[in-house]
Amino acid sequence: MSVSTKLRRLLVPAAAALMSATLLVAPAQAAHVSPAAAASAALAARGNAVVAAARAQRGKPYRYGSRGPNAFDCSGLTGYAYAKAHVALPRTAQAQYRAAKKITGAAVRPGDLVFWVSGSRAYHVAVYAGAGQVWHAPKPGDRVKLAKIWNWKQVRYGRVAG
């Protein structure tokens, strides 16, 4: 019997045993995921879906009052991106601001909403993309794009339940 045949006879059963042990251990470990960890993972997955939906609209024109799919205003873009993640948002930036749970800048995660607020009125909204950037539909004559957050004094953050 050749050396390679001997090795194969030893390694194939060992590999099969290792794989079956992995399959038996993995479900037991999965059962010990805390509710907080599961909620955090679900929030991250939804956030990634929202960011991906906003990113997919890159280059589409701004049009006041438009909710897509061919043009957007700011709240139309956020509403559209959230709808792709199966979450309904109110229509306007102000209504989205009222509906969102306010969070700190330290707590913001991709997919959260970023609001520009003057007094108590939200006049612009965007999707947080991470690294201090947002996906937004800026203004007439412009297009959906990724931008660095500006005018930090007026910025507030929100997270939508769902």
Is 32 an annotated catalytic residue?
A: no
Is 136 an annotated catalytic residue?
A: yes
Q: Which of the following is catalytic: 49, 50, 51, 74? A: 74
- Here the tokens at position 60 are 């589409």
Q: Which of the following is catalytic: 124, 125, 126, 149? A: 124
Is 74 an annotated catalytic residue?
A: yes
What are all long-range contacts of 54-57, with beta carbons under 8 Å and residues at least 24 apart? 54/78, 54/80, 54/81, 54/127, 54/129, 54/135, 54/144, 55/129, 55/135, 55/146, 57/81, 57/135, 57/137, 57/144
Residue numbers annotated as active site = 74, 124, 136
